[in-house]
């Protein structure tokens, strides 16, 4: 196996259960790029530390050229919160990454329509959002921006904040919906303008208005893709998430990523587990290492903090 900065010794040093995947290499002539022109190192995960940005065990510097956005437009770095779901495009070697684009990728933005399980679960845009601890300070009707990871049709929340827009939002993988003109984005049903251009299996963000009686999001705008080429040709991915079964080899995808794994990887051992995958990208994700992460946020953050210190 070709040595990367995520060597077996470094992975095991985190203290989490982990296995190194077999090395796979696919040429661009064999696997065509998924989103064409996406760039640099693509990082998808949760913000766990400031002092630059620490996301899914990666230490990423920022500078005056770093752009900050969310589904509604431009942000500033001061708007970031611990626990935010981030998509980062970074340039430079893996031990000296510099963010070119930092996108806050909320799975859901909308009104809370129900609070159950003593505050450990809420309903936003028709989707169940689960919390490690009871949510405090929010009532039914409050508009919130949810951060976290998709697991099946629900979101495992890492944070919640007041929504900064009166428009609702959902972002995630595109699948076929239940009825003519409808699609499902993550666990939310969507219909309306511009959805015909969203390929099934891709990642997309839809902005619009959630209609609770119909339990569907009426889209006013949509955008396909997660990475946009701000850091040059994509060479590597670092992705935190849960696996979901698919009909094509190797039989799994990462929820909410919108990119496929290299077909020869063996992933059965990682089903139903929170994972961090790292490796090359050649039109498919040729993951070279896999770290099983604890579900407890405190334990998980300690694992990722140690990993980020090793990578500086």
- Does residue 198 have a cis bond before it (omega within 30 degrees)? no
Same structural domain, 155 and 91: no
Same structural domain, 168 and 273: no
Separation between Cα atoms, residue 76 and residue 264, nearest integer Å: 41
Same structural domain, 267 and 197: no
Domain presence at residue 193 = yes
Q: What is the pLDDT of residues 239-285, one digit of tens each?
A: 999 999 998 899 999 999 988 899 999 999 999 899 999 999 988 99
What was the pLDDT predicted at 197? 84
Same structural domain, 85 and 119: no
Domain presence at residue 212 = yes
Give yes or no for residue 82 having a pLDDT over 90: yes
Q: Residue 256 belongs to what domain range?
A: 8-105+227-306
Query: CA angle, corner 60, sides to 89 and 17, nearest 5?
Result: 95
| Structure-token pair, residue 46 | 């949760």
Same structural domain, 94 and 233: yes
Give yes or no for residue 164 having a pLDDT over 70: yes
Tell me the CA distances in angstroms from 240 to 15, 123, 255, 291, one per residue in order.
17, 23, 9, 9
Give yes or no for residue 2 having a pLDDT over 70: no
Same structural domain, 214 and 278: no
Same structural domain, 116 and 163: yes
Q: What is the pLDDT of residues 25-62, one digit of tens each?
A: 322 222 333 343 334 899 999 999 998 999 999 999 99
Predicted TM-score (pTM) of the model is 0.87
Give yes or no for residue 99 having a pLDDT over 50: yes
Q: Report the chain's C-alpha Rg in angstroms.
A: 18
Split into its structural domains, the chain has a count of: 2
Which phi-psi region, left, alpha or beta, contains residue 63 (left: φ > 0; alpha: ψ -120 to 50)?
beta
Q: Indicate the length of the chain as a whole number.
A: 312
Same structural domain, 231 and 90: yes
Same structural domain, 242 and 192: no
Domain presence at residue 44 = yes
Domain presence at residue 72 = yes
- Pick the last residue of a domain from 224, 248, 274: 224
């Amino acid at each position: 196996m070709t040595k990367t900065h995520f060597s077996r010794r470094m992975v095991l040093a985190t203290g989490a259960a982990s296995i190194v995947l077999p090395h796979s290499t696919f040429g661009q002539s064999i696997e065509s790029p998924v989103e064409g022109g996406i760039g640099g190192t693509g990082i998808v995960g949760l913000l766990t530390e400031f002092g630059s940005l620490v996301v899914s065990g990666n230490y990423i510097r920022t500078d005056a050229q770093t752009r900050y956005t969310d589904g509604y437009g431009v942000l500033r770095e001061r708007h970031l919160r611990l626990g935010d779901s981030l998509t980062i495009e970074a340039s430079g070697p893996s031990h000296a990454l510099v963010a070119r684009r930092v996108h806050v990728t909320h799975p859901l933005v909308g009104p809370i329509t129900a609070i159950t399980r003593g505050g450990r679960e809420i309903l936003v845009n028709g989707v169940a959002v689960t919390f490690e601890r009871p949510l405090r300070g929010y009532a039914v009707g409050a508009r919130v921006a949810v951060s976290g990871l998709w697991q099946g049709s629900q979101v495992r929340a890492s944070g919640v904040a007041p929504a900064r827009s009166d428009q609702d939002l959902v972002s995630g993988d595109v699948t076929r919906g239940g009825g003519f003109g409808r699609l499902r984005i993550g666990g939310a049903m969507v219909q309306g303008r511009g959805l015909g251009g969203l390929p099934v299996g891709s990642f997309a963000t839809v902005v619009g208005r959630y209609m609770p009686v119909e339990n569907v999001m009426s889209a006013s705008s949509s955008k396909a893709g997660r990475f946009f080429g701000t850091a040059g040709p994509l060479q590597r991915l670092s992705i935190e998430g849960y696996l979901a079964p698919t009909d094509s080899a190797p039989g799994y995808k990462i929820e909410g990523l919108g990119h496929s794994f290299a077909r020869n990887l063996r992933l059965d051992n990682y089903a139903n587990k929170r994972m961090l995958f790292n490796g090359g990208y050649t039109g498919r994700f040729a993951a070279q290492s896999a770290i099983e992460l604890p579900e407890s946020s405190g334990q998980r953050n300690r694992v990722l903090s140690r990993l980020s210190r090793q990578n500086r």
